[in-house]
Amino acid sequence: MTDSGHHDTPPPRLEWTPTALTDPLPLARALIQRASVTPTDNGALDVLQAALEALGFRCRRMPFSAPGTDPVDNLYARLDLDAAGAGPVLCFAGHTDVVPVGTGWTRDPFAAEVIDGVLYGRGAVDMKGAIAAFVAAIARVRRETRDRALQGGIALLITGDEEGPAVNGTTRMVDTLAAEGERLDHCIVGEPSNPQALGDMIKVGRRGSLNATLTVIGRQGHAAYPHLADNPIPRLMAMLDALCAAPLDDGSDHFDPSTLTLTSVDVGNPATNVIPGRAVARFNIRFNDRHDGAGLAAHLRSVCEGVQAGQPGRFDLDVQVSGESFLTPPGMLSDLLVEAVEAVTGRRPALSTSGGTSDARFIKAIAPVIEFGLVNRTIHQADECTACADLEGLTEIYRHFLIRYTNGVDG
């Protein structure tokens, strides 16, 4: 098995019918077979658009670019279920881009093989499988309710830039749709949310993420004459000790305590008899709803200034906030999804804010958002896979949710 796993010739474009789309597996396989490693789409959005148009969706491609970044294609699709347009609009958000293949695969990562009831391929879990499940759920609802009036609408917001810089994807789509007055009342993100089994967990929020680079600048010198130099290492160690000395908080109602994790300490010094002129540390903070990025940046700078005070040299602190924390308080949206999960799996999912960041951090600006998808045990790993039974189970959970949502549940 080669590490690349890319097909020389993309699979043929498929024609979809509403009947065929009630089964999530063919669409999941067709999406996986498009090697859409960020930022390359390789026809994945074409496959999805054809499927959605077969179900009556109006589809709109939304390509974006920015200086210094690769252009990215995105897809927005909308299906109005009632002529009045008065009911709530549910948005399903996800991404067709995938992380690079990496090494260690025993299957072709883009062949979408099904072996012993398991679907293998890059994106099977994260998150082409969930996209296929949601489309299949819509097809089932349309088939079951063809003679009944439904309320509201369904939208899909699909990016090709979730696994990359995330500058030409969901955040740009959200800003554009908001500026155009597009109404989205609630959102489900199909990220793989379950640690062990389908139905374990629904994400109702996410911690914020802050990356910091702390550079302490001294004066280089000979190790035999330390009084003639200014060694930045002890000062850096003192700053890190002060930053790590006390917890940032003790958690909140829906979040664990915030964490500061050192990721690198380096002086770039190959010599044993030279005092370096600078020392650099990097760290990441995952923070809860008791903080925001600006407040944490001010706190970090204040601590470092306290250590630096009265000493020679200086320090630089660069802080980048990749996402603020947010919480969608438990209520109608999560209640409906919990009910659907219990009805299909018999499990009552935990409502959690654990894990890293996702594109939900952008969507929260325009609609209450929660996350629920497949089991994440093989996410970003070699031989990424999902049980076909889980793909079917997720489809039924989405179907159950959609039936309730589109039958006049008060939003």
Binding residue positions for Zn(2+) = 95, 126, 163, 191, 380
Peptide bond into 239 cis (omega under 30): no
Half-sphere exposure for 59 (CA within 13 Å, toward CB): 19
* Active-site choice (41, 97, 324, 384): 97
Structural contact between residues 282 and 264, judged by C-beta atoms closer than 8 angstroms: yes
Structural contact between residues 214 and 319, judged by C-beta atoms closer than 8 angstroms: no
Known binding residues are 95, 126, 163, 191, 380
Structural contact between residues 160 and 366, judged by C-beta atoms closer than 8 angstroms: no
Does 97 qualify as catalytic in the annotation?
yes
Does 162 qualify as catalytic in the annotation?
yes
* Active-site choice (161, 162, 200, 289): 162
CA–CA dist 77, 383 (Å, integer): 31
Q: Are strands 75-80 and 153-159 parallel, antiparallel or unpaired?
A: antiparallel
Other CB atoms within a 10 A radius of the CB of residue 308 amount to 16
Q: Which of 133, 102, 168 is nearest to 399 (CA)?
A: 133
Structural contact between residues 386 and 125, judged by C-beta atoms closer than 8 angstroms: yes
Q: In the numeric block, which tokens belong to residue 368?
A: 């209450």
CA–CA dist 380, 122 (Å, integer): 8
Angle at alpha carbon of residue 253, lines to 249 and 255, rounded to 5°: 60
Mind telling me the catalytic residues? Answer: 97, 162
